[in-house]
Structure 1
Amino acid sequence: MTLSLRAKIIGASALLLIFLVSLYAVFQVRMATQDLERQTERLRTLRVEAAQAQGTQAVLAVASSSHFWIADNDFTALDGQLKPVVEEARATDLPIAEALITDHEGEVLASSRARQDRPTVPRVPEFAQLKELTRPQIVMEGAPLPTRVRVVAPIRDDTGRLWGFTRFIYELEGLRKDLEEIEAEAVARRAAIWQRAGLIGLLVVALGVLVAVLQALAITRPIVALSRSANRIAEGDLSTRVAVATRDEIGTLASNFNHMADRIEGLLAETAAKMALEKELEVARIIQETLLPGQGVVERPGVRFAGAFRSASTCGGDFWTHADLAGGRLMLAVGDVTGHGVPSAMITAACRSGIDTLLSVSDGQLDAPRMMAELNTTIHSAAQRRFFMTFFAVVLDASRRRLHFANAGHNFPILVRRQPSGRWKSRGLVARGSRLGDVLGSTYEPKSVEVGPGDLLCLYTDGITEYRNAEGQEFGERRLRRLLERAASGGVAPDDVVAQVMAEVEAFAAGEVQEDDITLVVARFA
């Protein structure tokens, strides 16, 4: 069974009040008990001290003159010594239970109980052990509560001679009765305290439950309203809001709830807009993929090549392309727009469109420097110097086994060729020029180099060499060159070289996020 918040508040308040009232009652009982214990101890002390003082006075008074009667064997006089003391004590709350006078050997000479002939009176053997006693001895009898006080004093003459002893035993019967009355009073007082605490507790609990009910209603009503509003939002009614009626924590909760509802409504709108944008980006990605050459090896007279592209986002700023030119020539080009994403992809689309237009109007009579000069003008106009592109283009003249190339700020491609010693060695195709779209009217210096059978050409973007692993190390151009030299010496096909390089990059990164687009083109000459 699940209890409501309202029931929990009322129940907790009632239990708390019952606990506090019970604690109050226990405290009152404890205080009353301690007070009665103090009274008992005070009464007991007073009675015992009174018995001790009275007994000491009585035994000293009797002992002071008893040695005369003991010396004369006047037992009647000794009895006369005891009788008035016993009669006087009987009228008080400290009656004498027994009074004795003995000789120094402990033989009883006089007693308050009955007068007996001297030869038949029993001895008190312990008195024989008190011959060194010089002052009254007081002994309490009974435990833990004393019931008797026994006072013994030696009987000596002026010379200090011991003639006997006198002993008085006082009954503390009055103390026991008083203590019983105090205990009965304590029981009655505790019962009254519990009865009074019960009545007060019922009243306090009743009032407390009433206050708790009212408070619970004040607390739970806005919470119930919040719960209902939350259910409506869960069902899709995002316009639901809660009225803020108080300035306490519940009012703050209501304000935060309304703010949360506003944020959810805004986030859903943002999510819908983001989904629409993602759909548009997906369309842009598909369009961009159509602008890139397909996968696999492409064969042309004197050369076989393959390429790969991997974007760091939905749309990338890298691209590569190839085109057949007049005279059996082949053009390969690779570009890298600053940044990545949709704006960069738009610049790559403009560049590809410009290349296609130049190929069309020139009937294939196109060289790298002239093409790059025209593309520089196109990108400068389209990007308004907010975006730039590094670009490298190379034209293969298979009949003459030469590469003609130009560079617009791109990293130098790598050419791996066999040395006379038989060792394969890489070199960069060095050419310089400003980035496309940077400086209007820029010209690009033509360069050329001879190639031989088996030579390997690699065009790439800096997304490969600048890829970092978890330790912050870059993949680097040196590592790329070693891979290409090993592939060239092994006669590896271009598409396999591309696959090996991409696999090495992934293994090096070990799952680290790709921060830049990656483009790789590998050509092998026959």
Structure 2
Amino acid sequence: MRIATKLTLLLLAAVAVVMAGFGYIRARQERQRLTAEAQQEVLVLANAIKLTVEHALRDRQPQDIRELLTEMVRNPNPVDRIRIFDRRLEDISSAMSDVAATTLIPQAELEQVLKSGRTIVRYLDIPARPAAYAVLPLKTRRGATIGVLEVVHVATRVQRQIQEATHDQILRLSLLSLTIALVIWLTVRASIRRPVAQLVRTALAFGHGDLSRRLVLRRRDEIGQLAAAFNQMAESLQAAQAQIVTEAQTRLELERQAQQAQKLAAV
């Protein structure tokens, strides 16, 4: 395998590793951003529902609560399930769409909210049916916790956005990788492959006796230094050859003159 080919493959492998790592990080960041937006959205809705439910509970209007919950989960509302639990975590009122019926909220989180009085917001990363949910404490005017509110939003839209963002990242990185690969190939071809090929041709010509060949490379890098050294060597070899030829011709002329003198002396 040629040096230029090896170098090209090595650079392409390095670029591929860097691009893959960058793509993974970008996809992860985009996923985190979209899931955070989904959690924030469901939290805002849950807080609004919480105020309405707490007001209805204080007025002791269970029928109004059921009607309110049913209305909220109707399409195209962004809420898919609402459940209200009392202090014993028994479901006292709920409404849900079909898509959210199988979404499971850990019992431990309901107990934690009831005990601590703090809101919990989560994103369930389930490929078949992802969901964002919020669990909030229901309180009296004096701040006593009287129950728990659960709000679930099936985040199929978020999942679709994540997939679209991932596909977009793959397309962009693929185009960028191809562009970089083309630039690397052209650079290696112009910077290494052609000069080395020219050096090989000139060296072969030298081997066949053509000492007049020179490398014409106007570069200041290592290959340019190699070309300059090669040309200097060629000049030295050509000068040495010319000197040898001159000395041989001089020697032949002297021998011819000596032979001529011997003939004259014999006469």
Return closer, same or farther for 1:258/1:28 CA change in 2, 3 Å cut-off.
same
- Other-structure match for 2:53: 62
CA contact (8 A) 1:52 1:149 kept: no
TM-score normalized with structure 2 length? 0.61
Query: 1:224 and 1:162 mapped to 2: Cα distance?
Result: 93
Alignment of 1:194-233 (within 5 A): 200=182, 204=186, 208=189, 212=193, 215-216=195-196, 218-228=198-208
Q: How does 1:421-500 map to 2 (within 5 A)?
A: none
- Structure-2 residue corresponding to 1:111: 94
Report the counterpart of residue 255 of structure 1 in structure 2: 235
Which amino acid in structure 2 is aligned with residue 59 of structure 1?
K
Report deviation, 1:108.
2.3
CA separation of 1:133/1:14 partners in 2, compared to 1, >3 Å: closer, same or farther? closer
Could you say what secondary structure the match of 2:117 adopts?
coil
Rounded Cα–Cα distance in structure 2 between residues aligned with 1:128 and 1:48: 20
The Cα offsets for residues 124-173 of structure 1, whole Å up to 9 and x where unpaired, read as 897567554434x2142535889333333333333445443332222222
Any residues of structure 2 matched to 1:72-111 within 5 Å, and which? 74-87=61-74, 90-92=75-77, 94-96=78-80, 98-111=81-94
Q: Name the counterpart of 1:441.
A: none
Unaligned runs of 5+ in 2: 98-106, 216-226, 248-267
Larger Rg: 1
Distance 2:159 2:79 in 1: 13
Say whether 1:180 aligns with 2:174: no
Q: Call closer, same or farther: CA 1:244–1:148 in 2, change over 3 Å.
A: closer
Q: Is 1:41 the counterpart of 2:25 in the alignment?
A: no
Partner SS, residue 106 of structure 1: coil
Going from structure 1 to structure 2, the CA distance change for 1:257 and 1:56 (only over 3 Å counts) comes to: same
Superposition map of 1:43-442 within 5 A: 43-69=34-60, 74-87=61-74, 90-92=75-77, 94-96=78-80, 98-113=81-96, 131-135=114-118, 137-140=119-122, 142-143=124-125, 147-190=130-173, 192=175, 200=182, 204=186, 208=189, 212=193, 215-216=195-196, 218-228=198-208, 242-243=211-212, 248-257=228-237
Q: Write 1 or 2 for the structure with the bigger share of strand.
A: 1
CA 1:209–1:153 in 2, change beyond 3 Å: closer, same or farther? closer
Aligned residues: 224
Amino acid at match of 1:170: H
Distance change >3 Å, CA 216–CA 125, structure 1 → 2: closer
- What amino acid is the match of 1:40? R
**SS of equivalent residue, structure 1 residue 112:** strand
Higher relative contact order (CA 8 A, sep 6+): 2
Deviation at 1:79, TM superposition (A): 0.9
3-state secondary structure, aligned to 1:169: strand
Change (3 A) 1:216 1:81: closer
- Give the superposed CA RMSD: 4.4
Q: CA deviation at 1:29?
A: 5.4
Task: Give the Å deviation of 1:177.
Answer: 1.9
Distance 1:223 1:173 in 2: 68
Query: Does the 8 Å CA contact 1:142/1:148 hold for their aligned counterparts?
Result: yes
CA distance in structure 2 between the aligned counterparts of 1:129 and 1:18, rounded to whole angstroms:
56
Task: Mark the CA change 1:126 to 1:22 in structure 2 (over 3 Å): closer, same or farther.
Answer: closer
Identity of matched residues, %: 12
Structure 1 residue ranges without an equivalent (≥5): 1-7, 115-123, 230-240, 267-526
TM-score by length of 1: 0.34
